Amino acid sequence: MTDDAPETYRFRDLPLTPSMVASLAREVMGDQLIKRSDLVNRVQELHMSRGGAESPADLTASTKKALQVLQKMGKVENPGYGRWRWIDAPLVSDDAAIEDAIEDEPDEVELAGGIIIEGTGSGCVYVYHFPTYQELAETRNEDRWPIKIGMTSLGDAKVRIASQQGTAMPEAPVVSYVYRTDTPRKLERLIHSVLYYRGLQLDEAPGSEWFSANPSEVQAIVRFAMDDHGKTSGASIVAADADADADADADADAEPSWLSPSGSSA
């Protein structure tokens, strides 16, 4: 059982993640049948009473993910709609095994209520963010927040995002803008470069795809770059590049030479 003294609580001062929810769920559930909504509230209350930090977002997604992993491991059962019960005797090594299993489980991806989907093509460029970031920006009367701009040649942004998410975030990402195109890598590079030169790239974020912007700003960049036929404007961008598009799912971290201050125009 997890220590209940605040000074020894191992999740002290931390917001809840799916692995933490899974660990605390064992204590909260016992052998009782419990509704998932009640589990969310009771886990949060237990966590806070022991010195844990308040979670900045709704814990429903984290709890759902924790229960899915626990069910696959044979730790819990779901005998009725929305109701769960712990069925496996806890072991000392459970926490490490559960944490490893949750790290291998992709997050669910939600589509924003006002999602914008434009363009046509086999791939797409997409924008996603974590709702907490947007909510925090809005409370500060700010119109920009951390967003990630990525691309996939699969045609489905949800597939790509779900495959790359870790478990450190306490909520699932939300897709807010998608532009379909046959040359997603080129369009992604264009957007990245414009935001880079506006000084909006987040240097402290992992990778090079995070910016302080918003979906409407990205949409405006895309619309400016597109002509009436839906193709990217500019010979340097439209020019065939079979090797680049064949490897379209690789991360595009390098600054494109055609927009580099020292680069020459095509």
pLDDT (0 to 100) of residue 102: 59
Q: DSSP of 92-146, one letter per residue?
A: TTHHHHHHHHHHTSPPP-EEEEEEEEEE-SSEEEEEEE-HHHHHHHHHTT-S-EE
Please tell me what DSSP assigns to residue 228: T
Alpha-carbon gap, residue 67 to 180, rounded angstroms: 34
Q: What is the pLDDT of residues 9-33, one digit of tens each?
A: 888 888 788 888 888 888 888 878 8
Q: What is the pLDDT of residues 47-88, one digit of tens each?
A: 999 988 877 666 787 788 788 888 888 888 888 777 898 887
CA angle 206, 181, 120 (to 5 degrees): 135
pLDDT (0 to 100) of residue 31: 77
pLDDT (0 to 100) of residue 160: 55
| 18 touches 57 (CB < 8 A) | no
Helix or strand (DSSP H, E) at 179 = strand 174-181
Using 70 as the pLDDT threshold, list the residues of the chain that sit under it.
1-6, 56-58, 89-114, 154-171, 205-207, 227-266
Alpha-carbon gap, residue 42 to 19, rounded angstroms: 16
pTM, entire model: 0.48
pLDDT (0 to 100) of residue 155: 58
Name all domains of the chain by residue range, CATH numbers in brackets.
6-103 (1.10.10.10), 110-259 (no CATH)
pLDDT (0 to 100) of residue 212: 94
